[in-house]
Amino acid sequence: MNLNFEISFEDADEEIKSFFKQEWLSTDLIHFGRDISEEINRPLTVTVYNDASPPQLLAAARCIIMGQTLRVSQLLVIEEYRKSHGIGSLILQRLETLARQNEWHKIRLSTSKKHQNIEFYLKNGYVIEATLKNDAFQTTWYILSKFVDSE
């Protein structure tokens, strides 16, 4: 049998999206006993604006909800507001409140050694679960998490 391979850096077409949806469903039924498609990759964004006129975007966090775990993919605060206004900590607190309200049991994020923000996350109650040496961009990355008690 001859096999033809295609590699694309574009978004999948409808045939491929349908293939993944169908095959993941059968895999989910085997592994989880149910269709978990509604429980993964749901996007969530938190934004922080000041009260100026017009309001200025000061910070934002992009997340996805996956299996009742809130995964923070990006948390950014504009440079002049970092380390002095507590905005990053307030975003994390807001995410924790949201997690409690929705019974998401854990918040997870990753950061690289080069970002120099490990102490910020540790100060906010996160713990290092894993260290990935020589990972993306040939640097060390840390996976941090915090378990959230439900209300």
DSSP 3-state assignment of 130? Answer: strand
Render pLDDT for 126-150 as a digit per residue (tens, 0 to 9). 999 999 999 998 999 999 999 998 6
Q: Closest by alpha carbon to 89, among 62, 60, 63, 120?
A: 120
Domains, the chain, in order of start with CATH, read 40-147 (3.40.630.30)
DSSP single-letter state for residue 26: H
Q: What are 32-46's pLDDT values in tens digits?
A: 888 777 777 888 899
Is-contact 58 87, C-beta < 8 A? yes
The pTM of the full predicted model, rounded to 2 decimals, is 0.81
